[in-house]
Chain A
């Protein structure tokens, strides 16, 4: 009888019990490492010895902020994020609108258009390195054939095209996800709205402005913030194509941090760079919480 009571009591608190493993994960794998990073960032931790011999306070931060490399990386990161987002959203939106309109072959288009999104970053980047190769790449041949360029261009290897090429690759990779998400967003808009718009004789632009955008504000918002953070944090695409080069012409903040910590072996400083990165990401997270009604009542994510 007593056993039964204990079980019943445990069961009453099942919700609290079930959060324990998740809570442990959060503390051990996210909170503790984050705190460790803050500590590391104030030391001279070196990759060679994996030991910090000195507590240097804010020295790392001061030196990073007063150097040019950080600001160039930050600007590159902003460019990379901004243009990738514009391209992904534009193509994704156009594709979603077109898909919404057609009837035949709709699901074939929908599934096939998803292909770029399924690429592992390593395959994506190696494939693009192959296609953009200055000697054998098919893209240079096509562009030459169309008389768009006169000579083959080393896309990932030239200062003025490196970042641009990664952005193009990123747009190719990312537009299907925007398309798919917006498409499912369209499905939530009641059909009557479209019927009314039809009767009122709204043109294409007006339909976007008065029917679609107001109803998808939230979808757009969540999508925009999640993608911004993802692209801003993205490391693989640049590392595996240009490596941040030539020089630092395509180096973003995550790459800057990687090179500092693992190539120049200055892990303390590398940690400080990631904390600066986190401040920017934190800004976006704060906007997310602010905009998407994280009121006490409906605050489960």
Chain B
């Protein structure tokens, strides 16, 4: 009798969980689908009252307009150059720093690691004015390299922060055994540590890539010429323009979101174990 009621209680609670999750799933997906579907609607449907959710006569007209838009591919190229550059710098320097900060203690090590954490939490709005001054002074205003360098302010501390928690998971015995065999540190780094943390480095790089791909504030202020404008900044000027075209804006938004969506889905599992590893193990 008691077993029966426990079982029943369990079933009810599981049904309850599924209902909550389904509701949340609708809330989570509705705006995304609304964006995707709206971007496929012709003008008449886009502004129909009451609105229709699914496009009746789907069209790729808005996408065509964005792609043939004067400088779309230049903006895309800018976004790719800047994102790849910032990610590479950030992850390479991050991996070296993470190695250094997790190796045997030396003078200043703990101060540096605290500084990295502080840099990670630093409000970007503080850095924007001095970075603007510095970039202008050294003549890198409105250049790709100028923006890449400023992106390092977040890609480097972030990568280091993540990688440290992964590097910590490498058992000390492995590196010590190699050390006793007389292996050089650089060899241990390149043949043991890097391969072992390879997947972690890939997911860190991916996350860093998405962050730079999505970044708006720095690009908006530091690189607003057509030569260096990234996709988000270009989209901002489309919306700010005289002719506000929701179809164009929404299809642009969709194109910007989909790469980020795919990358995040791919690394979601690995990423979180890194973000919490420090907190969990402690």
A interface with B by C-beta (< 8 Å): 8, 11-12, 14-19, 21-23, 25-26, 29-34, 36-37, 40, 50, 91, 94-95, 97-99, 101-102, 109-123, 126-128, 130-131, 136, 138, 141, 145, 172, 176, 180-181, 183-185, 188, 218-219, 221-223, 226, 229, 232-233, 235-236, 240, 254, 257-258, 261-262, 267, 270-271, 274-275, 277-278, 281, 284-285, 288-289, 292-294, 296, 298-301
Chain A residues near B106 (CB-CB < 8 A): 15-16
CB proximity to A under 8 Å, residues B243-277: 246, 249-250, 253-254, 256-257, 260-261, 263-265, 268, 272-273, 275-276
B109 surroundings in chain A (CB, below 8 A): 15, 19, 300
User: Residue B122 at the A interface, CB < 8 A?
Assistant: yes
Q: Give the residues in chain B near A111, CB-CB below 8 Å.
A: 265, 268
Chain B nearest Cβ from A32, distance in angstroms: 7
A11 touches B186 (CB 8 A): yes
Are A127 and B276 closer than 8 Å at their CB atoms?
Answer: no
CB pair B280–A219 under 8 Å, yes or no, is yes
B120-158 CB contacts (< 8 Å) to partner A: 121-127, 129-131, 133-134, 136, 149-150, 152-153, 156-157
Q: Complex formed: what's the CA distance from A155 to B129 in Å?
A: 32
- The CA-CA distance from A236 to B112 in the complex, in Å, is 30
Q: Are A235 and B124 in contact, with the CB atoms below 8 A?
A: yes
Question: In the bound complex, what is the Cα–Cα distance between A294 and B13 (angstroms)?
Answer: 41
Interface residues of B (CB under 8 A from A): 13-14, 16-18, 20-21, 24-25, 27-29, 31-32, 34-35, 38, 46-47, 49-51, 53, 93-94, 96-97, 99-104, 106, 109-110, 112-119, 121-127, 129-131, 133-134, 136, 149-150, 152-153, 156-157, 160-161, 164-165, 168, 184-186, 189, 210, 213-214, 216-217, 221, 232, 235-236, 239, 246, 249-250, 253-254, 256-257, 260-261, 263-265, 268, 272-273, 275-276, 278-280, 282
Contact pick for A112, options B25, B150, B157, CB 8 Å:
B25
A131 to B278, CA, bound (A): 39
Q: Which residues of A contact B246 (CB under 8 A)?
A: 130, 136
> Would A22 and B276 be within 8 Å (CB), given that A116-B28, A130-B38 are in contact?
no
Chain A nearest Cβ from B87, distance in angstroms: 14
